[in-house]
């Protein structure tokens, strides 16, 4: 029987092994996201007996299983899922590559629902860093106008800047619906939790834009192999094209520091029409598609 336990900061090192072994890395399964939202969503994990998989469960507001992390290349999925979850099983946010493995092994007992709002948007990082050609002319013009209008500077997030970033985040949250929206409140608590433990979580990176010495935007990301995940991006709208500027500056500096980076994962749009339009406007090259999957063995 699996022994589920709450996800703690001390679990980071063993969790990283499963994340590194993943065939397809989706942002929902990264440690900062799962641990950052652990108090809000009640995330729990349990190791498979042989250590090959890490099972993940959400317990708030109700129980449901996410896809397991680890080595998906196995031929005993039907037996294993029945053993762990019974003859009726359901998984949420299943990445496409794992779904295809399951379909190949037992297509007749699987039911699939597309979770379009959870698809993660993938981009060529060089496109976002340089905004080349006619495709990105409007974006490039907006960034250039921002540069012309404001005396700004870009800085990587460091321990010395953490308190300033947290203060900006709290202000941003207040400006957006007074931070009364449940989703914004949960996100705010998760961001503050991650920032408070900045030095304890490896592979986190981030940057800020300052205008006249004040933070006007920030980004928090995570490097995994050749991909940079953009977990959070917040900007003040009083300066115009701040979102476009922080996106370009962050990607440009990430590429300078890590030339091997090839892909930027800017994560999901949560079925928000405005957010979807914004993400599509940067011309994604691909997606990590995710699905709700049910089994009746």
**pLDDT value at 287 more than 90:** yes
**pLDDT value at 178 more than 80:** no
pLDDT computed for residue 84 by the predictor: 94
Two structure tokens written together for 67: 């896809």
Give the confidence band of 138 by pLDDT, cuts at 50, 70, 90.
very high
By percentage, how much of the chain surpasses pLDDT 70? Answer: 100
**pLDDT value at 152 more than 80:** yes
Q: Where do the domains of the chain lie?
A: 5-119+290-296, 121-267
Question: Are both 5-119+290-296 and 121-267 of the same fold?
Answer: yes
pLDDT computed for residue 181 by the predictor: 86
Q: Give me the residue label for tokens 């349990």.
A: 46
pLDDT digits (tens, 9 = 90+) for 46-86: 999 999 999 999 999 999 999 999 999 999 999 999 999 99
Long-range CB contacts for residues 115-119, cutoff 8 Å, separation at least 24: 115/290, 115/291, 115/292, 116/271, 117/268, 117/269, 117/270, 117/271, 117/272, 118/28, 118/93, 118/268, 118/270, 118/290, 119/268, 119/269, 119/287, 119/288, 119/289, 119/290
For residue 46, the cross-strand partners are 55
Strands (E), 166-240: 204-211, 214-224, 227-235
**Strand-strand pairing, 286-288 and 120-124:** antiparallel
- Name the average pLDDT for the chain: 96
pLDDT computed for residue 274 by the predictor: 96
Distance CA 125, CA 215 (A): 24
Average pLDDT (9-32) is: 95
pLDDT computed for residue 180 by the predictor: 84
pLDDT computed for residue 297 by the predictor: 87
For residue 53, the cross-strand partners are 70
What angle separates helix 77-85 from helix 96-105, to the nearest 10 degrees? Answer: 100
Average pLDDT (169-198) is: 92
* 5-119+290-296 CATH pick, 3.30.390.50, 3.40.50.280, 3.40.630.30, 3.40.50.300: 3.40.630.30
pLDDT computed for residue 111 by the predictor: 96
Two structure tokens written together for 155: 């800085």
Domain 121-267, CATH class in plain words: alpha beta
Q: Is the peptide bond before 61 cis (omega within 30 degrees of 0)?
A: yes
pLDDT computed for residue 192 by the predictor: 97
Q: Which of 91-105, 175-189, 233-247 has the lowest mean pLDDT?
A: 175-189
Distance CA 161, CA 156 (A): 9
């Amino acid at each position: 029987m699996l022994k589920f336990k709450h996800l703690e900061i001390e679990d980071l090192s063993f969790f990283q092994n499963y994340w590194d072994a993943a065939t397809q890395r989706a942002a929902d399964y990264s440690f900062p996201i799962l641990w950052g939202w652990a108090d809000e969503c009640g995330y729990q994990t349990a190791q498979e007996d042989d250590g090959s998989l890490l099972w993940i469960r959400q317990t708030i507001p109700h129980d449901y299983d996410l896809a397991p992390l680890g080595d998906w290349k196995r031929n005993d999925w039907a037996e294993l899922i029945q053993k762990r979850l019974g003859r009726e099983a359901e998984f949420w946010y299943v990445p496409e590559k794992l779904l295809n493995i399951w379909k190949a092994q037992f297509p007749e007992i699987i039911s699939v629902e597309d979770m379009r709002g959870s698809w993660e948007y993938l981009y060529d990082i060089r496109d976002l860093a340089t905004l080349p050609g006619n495709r990105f002319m409007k974006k490039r013009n907006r960034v250039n106008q921002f540069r012309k209008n404001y005396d700004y500077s870009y800085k990587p997030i460091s321990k010395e800047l953490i308190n300033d970033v947290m203060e900006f985040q709290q202000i941003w949250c207040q400006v957006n619906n007074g931070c009364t929206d449940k989703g914004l409140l949960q996100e705010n608590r998760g961001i503050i939790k991650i920032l408070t433990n900045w030095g304890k979580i490896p592979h986190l990176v981030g940057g800020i834009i300052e205008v006249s010495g004040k933070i006007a935007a920030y980004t928090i990301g995570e490097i995994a192999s050749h991909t940079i995940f953009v977990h959070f991006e917040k900007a003040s709208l009083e300066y115009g094209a701040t979102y476009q500027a922080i996106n370009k500056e962050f990607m440009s500096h990430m590429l300078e520091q890590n030339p091997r980076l090839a892909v930027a994962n800017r994560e999901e749009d949560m079925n928000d029409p405005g957010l979807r339009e914004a993400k599509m406007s940067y011309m994604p090259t691909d997606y990590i598609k995710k699905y709700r999957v049910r089994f009746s063995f």
